[in-house]
Amino acid sequence: MKSIDKTADSECTSSTTVLTDGIPVKRRLGFLSGVSVIVGTIIGSGIFVSPKGVLQNTGSVAVCLITWCVCGLISLMGALVYAELGLMIPKSGSDVGYLMAAFGKFPAFMYTWTQLLVFPGGQVIKSLTVAEYISKAVFDECGPNEATKKIMAAFVLLSAGITNCISVRLVARTQILFTTLKLAGLTIIIVGGIISLAKGQFGSLTTGFDGTIDNPTTIVSAVYSGLWAFDGWAQLNFVVEELKKPKRNLPLCIITSVLLVLVVYLLVNISYFAVLNKDEYLSSWAVAGTWAEYVLPGAVVLVPITVACSVYGSLNSSGFAVGRIIFATAREGIFPECLCYLNINSNIPLPSTILIVALSFIMILPSNISLLLNLLGFLTWFFYGFGMVANIVLRFKMKDTKRPLKVPILIPILVLICCVYLVVAPFLEPVKVEFWYAVTYLAVGVVLYFPFAFFKLSVPGMDKVNTLVQYLMNAAPPQQMIS
C-alpha cells in the first residue's frame, strides 16, 4: 500500500508522492488547552438548565449539595484511574489501548463499535440543545417547528465538524473561547449569589435537611443524575498522544479540571438556592433563567445564549476526541485501515472525524432525546466499568511496567461498584425498550467482530477504497510506534 508524505520543511508545495514509514502524531496541546478540553466537555447545558434531578431525588437542599460533592469525588477517582492508565499506555483512543493490553482485541473492538453509536448520539443531543436555546433567544414563545430546529442542529454539527477537520490549533482556540464564555456565565451566577447572601437573602438554603428522602434507591438515582453532569472527565485520554509533556500535564489537567468543575457546580447551586425556593427550583424550565428573572431581570435573554455557547463548546470538544478513538482502533488493525489515516498537512485523523460527523447527521433525523439519553448512559457506564477492571488486571499483568502515577487499588474497585450499579439498575425495574436496543447493538458488534476483525476476512475493493481515501483527503497511514 503506497502512502503519501511530504518532507518536514514542505508545506504541501509539491504534489509528489513518496513511500514513507508513516506520519508521526504531533504534540500540540498544552496545559490550558487540556483543561479546556475536559472542562469544555463536562460543562454542557445541565448546570444551567436542569440540575434539579439531584434535588428531586434527595428532597433537601443539604443532601443535594452533599450529593454534588459525592459525584465530584467519584468522578475525580475515576479520572485518576484513567490518568494512571493514560500514562502507563500513552496512546490516543483511551480505552482502546487499555482494553487491548488487559483483555485483547475483542473488548477494544466492542468499545469502539459502541462509540460509533454513543458519540454521534451525544453529538445529536448537544446540537439539538444548541438549536433549542438559540430558538429561545431569537424567536418568540412559539418558536420554530421541529423540522426547522433539526436543520439548525444540522448546521451546528456541520460547523463543529469543519472546525475539527481544519486544524488542532483551531479546535484548541475554539475550545478555550467557549470554555471562557461558559465560565464567565457561571461566574455571573456565582457573584449574583454572593451578593444575595451578603444582603441577608438565604432563600431555600435555610431549609437544610428538611424534606430529605430516606429511600436509598432514590438517593442513588440522584447520584446518577449528578454523575451525568460530570461526565467527560476521561476526555483528554482520547488525545494523549497530542498532549505536550503528558507525564506532567495529563494528571494535572484532570485534577485541575474536575476540582474546578466541582467548585463551580457547588457555588452555582448555592447561588440558585440563595435566590429560589425549592418549588421554583424544581418547576423551572431553566433554573438559570428563573434565577436571572429575580437577580438580572434585564438580562434574561443572556441565559439561552450562554447555554447555547456552553453546549457548543462541549460538542466541539467531543467531536475532537472521538475521531481519535476510531483512529486508534483502525491503527491496531481491527477497524478498516483507511480510518487511521492522518491528513498530511493538519495531522488530523480526517477519515474517522468525517465518519462521526456523517453518523451524527444520520442520527439527527429520527432523534428521540429521552431514548438516546438512556441508551447512551447504559453503554457509557458499561465501558467505564471495563476500564476500571482493566486497571485492576494490569496491576498484575503489567506489574513491572513503570507507572508515573499509581492510585490505590481501592479507588478503581469503588468506581467499579458504582459502574456495576448504574449498568444493572435499569434491569431491576420494568426494562425500557432502549436498553434492549443497547443489548442488541452489542450483539451485532459480536457478529461483525469474528469474520472481519478476528479472521481478517477481506472485503472486496477495500484496497481501492483505501487508495481513494488517501488521495481525496491528502492522507497517509500513521507511524505504528509513537515515541
User: pLDDT tens for residues 379-402?
Assistant: 788 899 999 999 999 999 998 888
Round the average pLDDT of the chain to a whole number and report it.
Answer: 85
Mean pLDDT of 27-34: 89
pLDDT at 380: 82
pLDDT at 21: 53
**Helices 302-331, 95-103: inter-axial angle, 10-degree rounding:** 40
DSSP 399-446: TTS--S----THHHHHHHHHHHHHHHGGGGSSPPHHHHHHHHHHHHHH
In the chain, what percentage of residues exceed pLDDT 70? 90
C-alpha cell at 67: 450529593
∠ CA 293-150-155, rounded to 5°: 95
pLDDT at 57: 87
Burial (Cβ within 10 Å: 0-12, 13-18, ≥19) of residue 237: buried
Domain count of the fold of the chain: 1
Task: Characterize 97-128 residue by residue with b for buried, 16 or more Cβ atoms within 10 angstroms of its Cβ, and e for exposed.
Answer: bbbbbbbebbbbbbbbbbbbbbbbbbbbbbbb
Residue 121 has pLDDT above 70, yes or no: yes
How many residues belong to the chain? 483
pLDDT at 372: 65
* Highest mean predicted confidence (pLDDT) among 24-33, 125-134, 268-277: 268-277
pLDDT band at 223 (very low <50, low <70, confident <90, very high): confident
Between CA 94 and CA 254 the distance in angstroms is: 14
358 vs 307 pLDDT, higher one: 358
**Domain contains 19:** no
* Highest mean predicted confidence (pLDDT) among 103-117, 221-235, 370-384, 430-444: 103-117
pLDDT at 101: 94
Residue 217 has pLDDT above 80, yes or no: no
Contact yes or no for 20/479 (Cβ under 8 A): no
pLDDT tens readout for residues 402-416: 889 999 999 999 999
Residue 271 has pLDDT above 90, yes or no: yes
Which domain range does residue 384 map to? 31-457
Alpha-helical runs (H) found in 43-167: 46-49, 52-58, 61-88, 95-103, 105-138, 146-166
**Domain contains 279:** yes
CATH at residue 401: 1.20.1740.10
331 vs 423 pLDDT, higher one: 331
Between CA 340 and CA 332 the distance in angstroms is: 9
**Domain contains 197:** yes
Q: Nearest-CA neighbor of 391 among 377, 412, 416? A: 412
∠ CA 433-434-439, rounded to 5°: 100
pLDDT band at 286 (very low <50, low <70, confident <90, very high): confident
Q: Nearest-CA neighbor of 477 among 319, 350, 293? A: 350
Tally of CB atoms within 10 A around 444: 10
**Domain contains 420:** yes
**Domain contains 473:** no
**Domain contains 67:** yes
Mean pLDDT of 35-50: 83
**Domain contains 22:** no
pLDDT band at 215 (very low <50, low <70, confident <90, very high): confident
**Domain contains 9:** no
Question: Which pTM was predicted?
Answer: 0.84
